[in-house]
Amino acid sequence: MKTWKSNLEETKQRYINWWNHKGIILNMWEHFQEGVQPHAEIMPPAPAKDLSQKWFDPQWRAEYLDWYVAHSSLKADILPVANTQLGPGSLAAIFRRSV
């Protein structure tokens, strides 16, 4: 499988080893982007029109996360995963949102 992560097989093995109580995983919940060579030429989306679009527009968020992961570090055991969480209180933000 073609992926942006050059050491995916090594990372898979470290996860298997960790699951079997052998070794550790060096991972991060979020990615860092400073000094990263982009994995693909993906343009960022236009700036969000407002906070509602930034947090609740699935098309805008998908385009942003595609760009974000393409420009993020995937060293060590960091996986190329797009974080779709809105943060603490996600349901409150959705339920209080005007329809």
Residue 79's pLDDT is 87
Q: What is the pLDDT of residue 95?
A: 64
Q: Is residue 53 part of a domain?
A: yes
The tens place of each residue's pLDDT in the chain, 99 residues long, gives 678 888 999 999 999 999 999 999 998 877 778 888 889 999 999 999 998 888 888 899 899 999 999 999 888 998 888 877 766 566 666 666 554
Contacts by 76-79, CB closer than 8 A, 24 or more apart: 76/11, 76/26, 76/27, 77/11, 77/14, 77/15, 77/25, 77/26, 77/27, 78/5, 78/27, 78/28, 78/31, 79/5, 79/11, 79/27
**45 assigned to some structural domain:** yes
Residue 38 lies in a domain: yes
- Report the pLDDT value the prediction gives residue 25, as an integer from 0 to 100: 93
Supply the range of the domain harboring residue 74.
8-96
Identify whether 85 is part of a domain. Answer: yes
Q: What is the pLDDT of residue 1?
A: 63
Q: Is 75 part of a structural domain of the chain?
A: yes
Can you read off the two tokens belonging to residue 15?
């996860």
- How many domains, in total, are found in the chain? 1
Residue 1 lies in a domain: no
| Structural contact between residues 1 and 63, judged by C-beta atoms closer than 8 angstroms | no
- Residue 3 in any domain: the answer is no
